[in-house]
Each structure stands twice: as structure tokens, then as C-alpha cells.
Amino acid sequence: MNRKGFAGRLARLWIVPVALVLWELATRVAAQPYFPAPSSIVVRIQELWFSGPLTRVLLTDAAIESFGPSLGRLFAGWVLAGLAGVLLGVAIGRSAKLADYLDPILQFGRAVPPPLLVPIFFALFQIGTPTQLAIIVFGVIWPVLLNTADGCRTVDRQYLETARVFGFSRPDVLRRVVLPAAMPKIFAGLRLSLSLALILMVVSELVGSTSGIGYGLLTAQQNFLFVDVWAYIVLLGVLGFLLNASFLLLESRILAWHQRARRTI
């Protein structure tokens, strides 16, 4: 990194308006209905979702009806997958025997593309939120699980020996040594999962759903509303960016020790 800090980051943002202007020019020259100009997309986004009353931070009914369920599924799926992934990952990371038994199953499960399991989830759960949650959880659990297992397996030997010398109880070793030591890797997994959760949230709403961003996108597409389709695409991009940025902020708070320790070594 040659330029640090807020000023440096701000200075590099010039690329954004340049890209926008180029995009605008290109779409105007091409004049294709499939590729609306960004200016019209922005207007449509505003009409669709941000022309509501001030008391609701400008959000329209449509925005609330579509974002609410989507974000709810996204977060519920991510949190469930995160909890299950960390629990299983710790067990696998701390027990070589369990890891040996489960490894083939995990490698198999990880390789299966989650959208392919949609029919199975439909058969298992009712159509609607349970199925959508299952798709998200199944799709995003892997990075958390595998990263947690790896983090717990590779705890520095000296950390563990120190704990043994001072006679830490088993729960203490887990809670106060293994988990904090694995935390950087767990967070890396959680971040990856969050971006996957957004994708799978849309995928899950494209099938058998009657609400949400994915459903909106599908309806717009089926009705040849290209500006609307693009509005949804931009919305998803912005959402992904915001999720990632908030997660990084959270991570930098919780893992301050790790980031600063690495900087000084």
C-alpha cells in the first residue's frame, strides 16, 4: 500500500464518475433497449424504492415489501449457517478422528452446487421461506465450517502448551485460547459466506417465491421491464458493497488485536 488513510482512498474514487460517464455515453450511442442509460436506471431506482415518505427514510411500500423478506432471509440464513459452521468446525478442528470420518462427506457436500438441491429442499420443506433458508444455509455454511476447522486445527502449539502448563480447564482452553486464536480465520469464512448469502438469497427467490428482491427481478424480466431489471442489478451490487463494508467495520473492531499485531511483527 503506497497511499494510506481516508484522503488516499477518497482520491482514488475518481475512477467512479469516469466509469459512470463512459457507461452513460456507451448506452446512449448504442441506443439498445436492453442496455438503458445509468441515468434512467437511477431515476427508476428512485421511483421504485426511494420516493416514499420521509418518516420511513423515503422507502416506498414496494421497497419495504421486497427488501424486508429478502434481507430477513439473507441474515437468518447467514446467522444459522454461521452458528452451525462454527460449532461443527470447532468439533472437526479439535478432533482429528472426527475430521477423518467427516472429511469425505464434507468434500462431497461442498462440491454440490446448492441451486441443484432446490428440488430436494422443495420435497423436504414446504415451498417458501423454509426452502429458501435451507438453500442459503447449505450454500454458505462451507466457508465458515472449513475455515473454523482449519483455524482450530492450526492453533500455535505454544498457545496450547502455555494453557496446559497453567492447567486451563477444557472449556477455558476452547473459549479463551482456541476460539480467539481461530477468530481471524472464522471471520474470513464469515465474510465469504455473507457475499455468498446475497447470491443465494436471490437464487432462492427466483424459484417458488412470491416476494423479495429475486422475485422482483424475475417478474421485471418476464415483463420485459429492462430498466427495472437493471435497477435490481444495481440494487444488488450496492447491497453487496454495503454488507461487505459493514462486515469489515465489525471485523476491524473485534479483531483489532489481530490486525495491529500483524502490522507490528
CB of 110 or CB of 164, closer to another protein = 164
DSSP readout, 105-129? HHHHHHHS-GGGGHHHHHHHS-TTH
Q: Which range binds another protein by CB under 8 A, 27-35, 37-45, 170-178, 222-230? A: 170-178
Shortest distance (Å) from residue 175 CB to another protein: 11
If one asks whether residue 80 binds another protein (CB under 8 A), the answer comes out as no
The only residue of 2, 32, 126, 264 in contact with another protein, by rule CB under 8 A:
264
Binding mask 179-208 for another protein (x = CB under 8 A): -xx-x-------------------------
- Residue 172 as a binder of another protein (CB under 8 A): the answer is yes
CB of 169 to another protein, least distance (A): 8
| Secondary structure (3-state) at 209 | coil
**Cα–Cα distance, 54 to 50 (Å, whole number):** 10
Q: How far is the CB of 245 from another protein (least distance, A)?
A: 24
Q: Which is nearer to another protein, 141 or 182 (CB)?
A: 182
Considering beta carbons, is residue 57 or 265 the nearer one to another protein? 265
Torsion sign over Cα 138, 140, 146, 152: negative
Q: Which residue of 177, 197, 201, 202 would you call a contact of another protein, by CB under 8 A?
A: 177
Nearer CB in complex with another protein: 107/169:
169
SS3 2: coil
8 burial type by CB count under 10 A (0-12 exposed, 13-18 middle, 19+ buried): exposed
Closer residue to another protein in complex, CB, 12/164: 164
Q: How many residues bind another protein (CB under 8 A)?
A: 23
Instruction: Return the amino acid letter for 106.
Output: L
Interaction residues for another protein, span 200-259 (CB under 8 A): 257-258
* CA distances, 2 to each of 10, 44, 245, 262, 264 (Å): 14, 39, 21, 18, 17
By CB under 8 A, the residues from 129 to 168 that bind another protein are 156, 158-159, 161-162, 164-168
Q: Which is nearer to another protein, 168 or 247 (CB)?
A: 168
Which element (helix H / strand E) includes 44? helix 38-49
User: Which residues, in sequence order, are CB contacts of 54 under 8 Å at separation 6+?
Assistant: none
Query: DSSP string spanning 115-170?
Result: GGGHHHHHHHS-TTHHHHHHHHHHHHHHHHHHHHHHHHHT--HHHHHHHHHTT--H
Please say which residue, 61 or 161, places its beta carbon nearer to another protein.
161
Distance CA 88, CA 85 (A): 5
CB of 167 to another protein, least distance (A): 4
Name the site residues for another protein (rule: CB under 8 A). 156, 158-159, 161-162, 164-169, 172, 176-177, 180-181, 183, 257-258, 260-261, 264-265
